[in-house]
Structures are given as C-alpha cells and as structure tokens.
Chain A
Amino acid sequence: MTFPFESLMAEHRELGLVVETLIGFGFGFTLERAGFGRAQKLAAQFYGTDMTVLKVMFSAIVTGMIGLVVASGLGLADFKAVADSAASSTYLWPMIVGGFALGIGFIVSGYCPGTSWVATASGKLDGLATVVGVVVGQVVYAELEWRPLLKGFHESGDLGNLYLWELLHLPPRIGPAVVAVAVAAMAVAAFLGAEKLEKALAARADPAAQASPAGRPGRVVFAGFATAAILGAVLLALPTGSQARGREAPSISQMELARRVLDEPWKVRVIDLRDMKECAAKRIPGSECVPAEKLGSLRLADASPSRDVVLVAAEGLGAVPASAAGFPGRLYVLAGGFKGWEAFALTAPAAPAAGASPEAIEEYRLRAGLNSAMTGMKAAPPPPPPAAAPSGPRKGGGGCGG
C-alpha cells in the first residue's frame, strides 16, 4: 500500500472533501487547545514571556517531518513525492519579503491567517476583523501580482521545488532523514532556550498569556525527539541498512543504453558482471569488468550517485545483487543481458528507406556506428539516404533558444 490515496482528489472527491473537513477539525481543535485562539498568547511570543507559538510550531514540524521520513523508510510513502505535491515551489525573494510583512501583520493583528479562523469560531470579534482583513488583502494582492509593476518581483528567485537536503548536497535516499535529525536536535535546543527565557521574564508575563513550562509531558516529548534523532543517526551510520534489502532496478533497453554510452558516457557507469575472460574478450564500449562475486569491492553504497549504474549480466538479471542494492543513485539492469546486446549490436541494421522519419534515421546511424565499433569495422557507415523534405518549419536564429 502506498500513501497518499490519489483517488481522494479524483474519482472519490466527495469522500476526500469529508476527510479534509475532518483534518481541518483536528487542526482547529488542536490550535484552540494550544491557546492559539487567544491573541495575547500569540503576541506574547514576540515579547519573550510566553513562547507557546515556537514550542507548538516546532514540535509539529518535527513530528510531521519524522513521521513522513519513517513512513518513507517503511516504503509507505515517498518523501519527495509528498513534498512536491504538498509544498509550494520556492520563490525566494517574495517569500522573504512576504514573511517579514506577515510577521508585522501577525504582531499587529495578534493572529496569523489560520488562527484568526479559530479565534472567530470561539467568538472573538478581533479574530473576525482579522479574517475580513485577510480576505481583503488576498484579493488586493491577487489584483496586482500579475500586473507589470509587480510581476517581476512576484516571480523572482524562482528555484523550483528546492529542499534543504538538496541545498546541502545530500543524496536523496538519506537526505530527508539527515535533515530531520538535524531539525529535531535544533528544535530541542530552541525549546530549552525558550524555557530559560520564559523563566527569566516570568515577572513581566501577561496574566492572559502565562507561559506553560515543559513539565513531565514536555520532557517526554524532548526525550522522544532526542531518541528519534539518535535512532536516525544510528540507522544512517549502518553501511547497508534496511534500504539495501529487496531493491528492484528498472531495466534499460539496448537502444537506450547505446544512446547513453555514445552521447553522454560521463553520466553512466556500465558494470559487466560476467567472467573476467568473457568480458575481456568482448564487452560494451566503456564498461568495467567486475565479476559478480567481486562487486562488493566497488563499494557502490558509498559511490557517487551522479553517474547512473547499469548492470550487465550474461543474460537477463533476476534480482539486484545485494552489493549493488545500496547504491544511492539510479540503478538499471540491461534488458536481455550481454546476449541480447550482442544480438542488437552485432547485426548490421538495415538502412532505412527513403523518406523515413528523422527518428528512424537517427536510430539507424546510432546502430550502424555501434555495429562498426563492436565488429571492428573501421569504415564509416554508409550515409543514410537523404530524408524527405524536413518536417515542420525550422526554428530561426541562434543563441540559447535556437
């Protein structure tokens, strides 16, 4: 079973909307019980006397983050897929400026957009005023954001879907877990600091916004986060942990491999698992001869994921060898193994007929070149017959867009 249930956004949309209402109920209920329906309690965050906002927000972020990392580790979900679907892409400058402006609006109104709904639901008229204000602000900005004056800024700093683990150049397999561990550690440090600050400012606290110290439950949460952090670190330190088991690699077709070996050999690493003798006699251009039993010596689990690995066996390869399963990058198995490759590369292709599509001609060229490289024929392949009139208009001009 893989989460999320995509049908809840499509054919079972009504059920999905019911689920959303229930999720919203949980959201509103927790916010109210945390004290986020009371403006003084929210505002006190910025005077240091009651750091509930920081405590609740970071506990929630760490819980959600670790939960999703664990679910991804168990194969129930895919961290990046969920993140791509649920988080917006990064527009750095408007997000920094917008964040600052929202912070100002927060301390002036005493709410953020979400908590103003909770305050309204509990009868607070200032919360209702904020709700009305947010509606007006949203519409006014939406009126302006696409107009020439603002459009440039509104779309500046576009970094796409960029995540912290990518910023830190961590491999995608362990990146989210490493960042989650680091965030959990930072959160616990921030919590301890917040508790100290509240104690120091206790005399100045607003009676309507009394700090709630960690107490026993708080210490349990600290311990939970710390345990998760340590556990995560230990799991990551194990060279071939649970991730190595039962990996399935997609197969790559002979044509696709030939194209990649000839076009971008720096992006692909072909590993031939057959006997040293067989491999030495005949192999795919640029491939490494590493007999299957010696594959472990390559330490693929620690190899750079920047080059995709293609495994070549004598015939098709059933399961991915355990010593390759830990490879952090993309892993492929050559369809049909070397036998299939021979049949593909050693038979001279038939020349395409006149008027064949450009794709067919390109494929012919590739196969002919490959055939000559494999059979040792030095002469260039015969030129393909001239194609019919070029299809479609040519794009004009040079430059980057040409």
Chain B
Amino acid sequence: MERNPNRFWNPYLAGVALGLVMLTAFLVMGKGLGASNTSLRIGVTALDVVAPGHVAATPPLAKTHSDGHPLDNWLVFEVFGVLLGGFVAAYTSGRLKREILKGPKIGNGARIALALGGGVLMGAAARMSRGCTSGQALTGGALQSVGAWAFMLSVFAGGYALAWFVRREWR
C-alpha cells in the first residue's frame, strides 16, 4: 500500500466506521467511548506519589480509588487501545513523525504553550460537563441524551466564537 500522509479516509466512511466501533461498545460492554476520565486517573496516580493524604481527603480524587488502583479501570484500557490504534494507523499511513503541528506564522514555543493552555481549559471543561467530545458529544449524542446535545452545540459555539482571535495560530 502506498503511504501518502495527506491521504485520509473518506470522512463519511470514517464516520460510519467510528459509529460501528461505538455500536460495538454499546452492545458488548454496555458502555460508550471516553477519554477525559483517564486523564484524571493519570493525574491522581501522579498525586498519589507526592501527596497521598491529600488525594484521600478530596472526594472527587479519592473516587478514582473505588476499584482499587486508579488506573485499573475500563476507560484507561480503552485509551491504551486508542494509543495503540493511533500508532498503528499513523505508522501505516506514513504520518508517524516527531513534529509540532501549527500554522506557518507561529513559533514552536508559542504553539506548545497554546496547546498546553488549551488542554488545561479542556480538562477542566470536560470535568465540568461530565465528559468530553468522545464521552459526551459522541456517545451521549448517539444515545439521545439532552445534556449531550446541549454540550455539543455549545462546543461548536465556543470554537466558532474564538476562531477569529486565534487565526494566526493556524493560518
């Protein structure tokens, strides 16, 4: 197979494939897809090394211990699978490469800082809305949850509202 980093799947077929993966999760596991809760679990694992007493005294953090180790959870294994799947797909498509993705008018340092800052904001936001674009918009959206649809419309609103201000990062 020819490796062309600029060739992607047809977006509609990719969407159907993604939908079938999600449907498998619904039918086999009775669960959807998710990502952000794994990040909390990684954070708690790190905090456990530095300040275990503090974790135990903070209910939302302590809750990740309810099944034992915070990383012993189905969402963590799912994200592990995402890493594997992403790696294999990137390798076989010729997109596996250490680089920083950005528009032509912005420096590497600024781009990394913005990626980090945007990540912090998203992490907090995903916790606030009980899930991110995977767990809330995709999964909840397919399951017709009212909150998920309100969340999804809000995500697009937020993105479009700020796009003009950060155009130099991308264009």
Contact = CB atoms under 8 A, between A and B. Distances in A.
Contact of A110 (B13, B24, B28, B101): B101
B12 A217 contact: yes
A308 interface: no
Interface in B42-81: 42-44, 46-47, 58-61, 74-75, 77-81
Contacts of B138: 57, 60-61, 64
B126 A134 contact: yes
A78 to B, nearest CB: 10
B19 A61 contact: yes
B10 interface: yes
B156 to A, nearest CB: 6
B123 A163 contact: no
Interface in A213-257: 214-215, 217-218, 221-222, 224
Contact of A88 (B25, B116, B136): B136
Contacts of B102: 39-40, 110, 126
A328 interface: no
B86 A101 contact: no
Contact of A109 (B11, B17, B118, B148): B118
Interface string A32-60: 11110111110111110000100111111
Contacts, number: 585
Interface string A13-38: 00011111111111111111111011
Nearest to B131: A88
A232 B129 CA distance: 32
B101 A106 contact: no
A24 B122 contact: no
Interface residues of B, number: 124
Interface stretch (A117-125, A310-318, A376-384): A117-125
B129 A98 contact: yes
B124 to A, nearest CB: 4
The B interface, classified by DSSP as helix, strand, loop or mixed, is: helix
A88 B146 CA distance: 10
A85 interface: yes
Given A95-B150, A99-B150, A164-B146, A24 B170 contact: no
Nearest to A212: B11
B19 A23 contact: no
A100 interface: yes
Contacts of A94: 128-130
A44 B170 contact: yes
B89 to A, nearest CB: 4
Contacts of A19: 28-29
Contact of B144 (A18, A47, A83, A215): A83
B106 to A, nearest CB: 11
B15 A104 contact: no
A38 B101 CA distance: 7
Nearest to B44: A139
A32 B121 contact: no
A145 interface: yes
Contact of A117 (B35, B128, B148, B157): B35
A338 interface: no
Contact of B78 (A27, A68, A137): A27
Contacts of A136: 43, 119-120, 123
A8 B28 contact: yes
Interface string B21-46: 11111111111110111011011101
24 contacts: A21-B80, A24-B85, A26-B17, A26-B21, A37-B86, A39-B115, A47-B170, A60-B22, A64-B142, A68-B142, A83-B143, A88-B140, A100-B154, A103-B156, A104-B158, A114-B33, A120-B86, A130-B118, A130-B119, A134-B122, A143-B61, A154-B128, A206-B171, A221-B15
Interface of A: 3-6, 8-9, 16-35, 37-41, 43-47, 52, 55-65, 67-68, 71, 76-77, 79, 81-83, 85-92, 94-127, 129-143, 145-146, 154, 159, 161-167, 176, 179-180, 183, 191, 206, 208, 210, 212, 214-215, 217-218, 221-222, 224
Given A64-B142, A65-B141, A68-B143, 10 more contacts: A55-B11, A60-B19, A63-B16, A100-B125, A108-B166, A110-B169, A121-B85, A122-B96, A146-B59, A218-B12
Interface of B: 6, 8-33, 35-37, 39-40, 42-44, 46-47, 58-61, 74-75, 77-90, 93, 95-103, 111-112, 114-163, 166-167, 169-171
